[in-house]
Amino acid sequence: MGEILEEVEVSVTETKDAIESWMNGVELQIVHHKTKVLLVRNCKVAQRMQIDVSGHVIASKHALKQLGVIIDKRLSFNNHVDYACENSAKATNAIARIMPIVGGSRSSTRRLLSIVSSSMLRYGVLAWNVALKTKRNRVKLNMTFRLMALRVASAYKTITSEAVCVVTLSSFPPPE
């Protein structure tokens, strides 16, 4: 939209005024407590911006959550990877508390329940797949997938990641 913060503020104000005008014309209102501003920048200097929406001042955030995906000011999605891995690990651990680690329920049941936590991990991946380019995020995601594979295989944590993935995949027939 612009290189200089003042240009961005002018452009945002003009766009906001056009949207407010249209919404007033169709008898709709902006919900102020749900309105957020994210200033996307790739520079190191932290810049902040405020906009005025019908008398309510809204300050820009460092990150915001939109449709379950956390978007940060540099579009690195590190915050989202952390959030997704944490929630997926919580779900996996909740499943582990329900089922014994060794013995217990069948592996197909454990695999089905691990699909829930892996789908939580992969939600919105088309939006945040750029985060997979960094080693930090790949390591974090691999650790979470390893935890799920250990639960599915009923394996001990001393097994290598590669081995538990082979055991997990080979214990299930391929889909027809």
List, for residues 73-102, the tens digit of each pLDDT value.
Answer: 888 888 999 999 998 888 888 777 776 655
pLDDT greater than 80 at residue 159: yes
Q: Which two tokens stand for residue 56?
A: 């309510």
pLDDT at 176: 45
Taken in order 42, 46, 50, 56, is the CA torsion positive or negative?
positive
Task: Give residue 92's pLDDT.
Answer: 80
What per-residue confidence (pLDDT) applies to 6? Answer: 75
Q: Is the dihedral of CA 135, 137, 138, 140 positive or negative?
A: positive
Residue type, 157: K
Per the confidence metrics, is the pTM higher than 0.85? no
List, in sequence order, every residue forming a beta bridge with 81; answer none if it has no partner: none
Q: Worst-scoring range by mean pLDDT, 54-58, 115-119, 138-142, 170-174? A: 170-174
CA pair distance 121, 56, nearest whole angstrom: 36
